[in-house]
């Protein structure tokens, strides 16, 4: 584990589903720290709760364009200036979504 108590994960390939809920810690920055160790991230099902992400981080998680189900709860996505991203820009990253919560 690193100094933040996060497991040492390297070269992970996320292929089908990624569900991340940090509601117990409420740190809001855990997922951005962990995705740095992902070699590839191509889930069809993405569920994220209680996190702050940049648009670049969202692009890494969804950029492959094959997300089918998307669930965000208490998620804030900001641009490079720290401004909230419009929902239209977020949804443009996930053209195959048929279920959005």
Query: In which residue are the tokens 């692009």 written?
Result: 59
* DSSP 8-state assignment for residue 76: E
Name the residue among 60, 63, 51, 49 with its Cα closest to residue 101: 49
pTM of the model: 0.82
Predicted confidence (pLDDT) per residue in 57-84, tens digit: 999 999 999 999 999 999 999 999 999 9
* pLDDT tens, residue by residue, 10-45: 778 889 999 998 766 656 678 888 888 888 999 999
């Amino acid at each position: 584990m690193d100094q933040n108590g996060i497991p040492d994960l390297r070269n992970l390939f996320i292929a089908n589903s990624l569900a991340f809920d940090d509601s117990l810690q409420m740190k809001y920055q855990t997922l951005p720290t962990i995705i740095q160790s992902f070699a590839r991230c191509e889930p069809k099902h993405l569920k994220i709760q209680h996190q702050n992400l940049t648009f670049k981080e969202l692009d890494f998680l969804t950029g492959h364009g094959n997300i089918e189900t998307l669930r965000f709860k208490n998620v804030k996505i900001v641009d490079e200036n720290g401004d909230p991203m419009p929902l239209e820009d977020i949804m443009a990253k996930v053209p195959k979504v048929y279920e959005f919560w």
